[in-house]
Chain A
Amino acid sequence: MFNGKKIGEIEEARRKWSDNLEPKLAKRPERKAHFVNTSGIPIKRVYTPLEIADFDYMRELGLPGEYPFTRGVQDTMYRGRLWTMRQYAGFGTAEDTNRRYRFLLEQGQTGLSVAFDLPTQIGYDSDHPLAQGEVGKVGVAIDSLRDMEILFDQIPLKKVSTSMTINAPAAVLLAMYIAVAEKQDVLPKELRGTIQNDILKEYSARGTYIFPPKPSMRIITDIFSFCSREIPQWNTISISGYHIREAGSTAVQEVAFTLADGIAYVEAAISAGLDVDEFAPRLSFFFNAHLDFLEEIAKFRAARRLWAKIMRDRFKAKDPRSMMMRFHTQTAGCTLAAQQPKNNIVRVAFQALSAVLGGTQSLHTNSMDEAFCLPSEEAVQIALRTQQLIAYESGVTDTVDPLGGSYYIEELTREIFDGAQDYIDKIDELGGAASAIEKGFIQREIQESAYRYQREIEKGERVVVGVNKFQVAEEPLRDLLRVDPAVRISQIEELKTLKSERGNGRVKGILGELRKAAQGNDNLMPVILDAVRAYATLGEICDALRDVFGEYQPVSTVGG
């Protein structure tokens, strides 16, 4: 990048500069003895061309839309089209959530993102004993296709793209979405959206697993193969670092553990007989936008470069789209403070800005009240406006990767890339992501980082404004959004009605076929689709699969 003579001049100048600084620092030391980021990477006083003197522009950066995609996956990025503004939302009944979706679309949101309640995410109907207290709480309760029809009532699936945060029962919810589309006369090939479908991070960080790893990976590869034929515009998985980071990992660990999961999915699909370029273009990712602004920007860039390299060199992908890491970002829920909650608006704003400067394809901005409850309409409106302010007022969207070439950003991108690569090597030695999870390695790494972070806050080494510094006495927040416990009662009533109205003989027959298919090797998607069309419930379908696959037993990673 730089010629030798110029580098020599800079080296000489910096040496002098450092020498001159020494006596000044002796008198007036810096704020901290050591500056490090959340990944433990030491941060230098200043970055110059010296740090990136051996930089190979074409190999490490390239041009936008070209390998290794460090500068972005599209050639014009936000000059062409802004990211999709997609607020994760869902609570109570399908009617309640449908109303919120239509509000968000009226406010200029450009895609939907469905939050399901925990019973739905774990494959229980609302009348299951373990669903008590949880129905409609963290998302919308979906028991059958009937609820799904209400959820998307008056929402044209031909026009909107929908992301669904659903993992263990992803096949079932995707089948319901296809069935709703059929009723709207929309063809599967016209559908656009994403299912999260990332079971590995459920074992390591998020907790909504059902089946053991092996059958779970089979369901996932069945989905890859079905979607590549039937719904080619669908993102078949959203390989998620978001929850790994929320669980306490560092930025480097977030990249490493996410990409290690990605490698496991690619390997599973290849062993199931799929061609890499057939399914890899539809893999998508999901990252966290945390507090350290510049570290986050470098993280997104490093993740893109590393995935491109893995897909090209390790998996011999030929199609550039297989090497492109497209990702969704959400601001870091774990950084929201319950103290002085309006400060969260500002935290979210710069986290969102880091995601945009990092080249995200879609974005969710958290609402200021989420340390207490689900977001109120006012809070979610401010969160969406934050994205619109960045998009339309800040000017950062007018050129691609505006921070590319910053000495610090480029050096940090490289350090995060290298740190993540080291972790991936270690995970490979442990036999891959699934095996590293079974050994508790990934969980332990995450929880140690989480504990270290908390200690830093408690020792005052890490300042959280309003929490361990600049505190004030304050009144509790009022008028929080609450989910009526009666949601469970009405869902149970609906289930009773459904079971009295549908053809129960047909449902029983299809569930029998599903068990048989699960025992064999045929793709499970067509029979699951038949089951949801016949109004078999989510719980019934998952129970049929539980009968065959069994349930996951987690490993303990706390204590001796």
Chain B
Amino acid sequence: MATKRKIRVLAAKPGLDGHDRGIKVIANALMDAGMEVIYTGLRQTPEQIVEAAIQEDVDVIALSILSGAHDFLFPRIMDLLGEKGVDDVLVIGGGIIPDEDIPSLKERGVAEIFGPGTRTDDIVSYIENNLRR
């Protein structure tokens, strides 16, 4: 019997922000839900994140920023994915992201933004229901 491939997630910290409590909690929760999680560690450039996503053949990129640099870094990551022809990876984000910034991030292709107070179960089921491949 063929075993079903586990959902592969790249948990990434773009930019210079050192707050990794949230992304580590989510990485743990996704692993507990049976997913494979590759955590990049801190201070990743958009180039490094896109490269890692391709190398690791992930289904999902989960980005976390609490420094306010999402307005520059999230669109940059989406642009690079586009340049590399990657269009079947689900990109989600979280952190300290004002509501008014969410529509423009979604326009750039970030599928969903999860703010403070989100249940990790909700992120798990969102991923399971919205995979693009």
Contacts and interface: CB of A to CB of B under 8 A. Distances in A.
A554 interface: yes
Given A247-B21, A450-B24, A451-B25, A132 B72 contact: yes
B71 A464 contact: no
A122 B121 contact: no
A138 B68 CA distance: 7
A373 B120 CA distance: 22
B21 A248 contact: yes
A372 B98 contact: yes
Interface in A435-455: 447, 450-451, 454
A130 B116 CA distance: 26
Given A556-B39, A559-B39, A476 B99 contact: yes
A554 B116 CA distance: 26
Most chain A CB neighbours (cut-off 10 Å) among B16, B18, B19, B38: B16
A245 to B, nearest CB: 10
Contacts of B25: 248, 447, 450-451, 454
B29 to A, nearest CB: 8
A554 B72 contact: no
B20 A247 contact: yes
Interface stretch (A11-19, A67-75, A200-208, A529-537): A200-208
B67 A207 contact: no
A202 B73 CA distance: 23
A151 B72 CA distance: 26
A338 B115 contact: yes
A334 B66 CA distance: 12
B15 interface: yes
A181 B24 CA distance: 42
Contacts of B39: 556, 558-559
Nearest to A138: B67
A559 B31 contact: yes
Contact of B16 (A122, A447, A467, A483): A122
Interface in A463-478: 464, 467, 476-478
26 contacts: A118-B15, A122-B16, A122-B43, A132-B69, A132-B73, A133-B15, A134-B15, A134-B69, A137-B67, A137-B69, A202-B18, A207-B18, A247-B21, A337-B116, A338-B115, A338-B117, A372-B96, A374-B68, A450-B21, A450-B25, A451-B25, A467-B117, A476-B99, A485-B72, A554-B42, A559-B38
B41 interface: yes
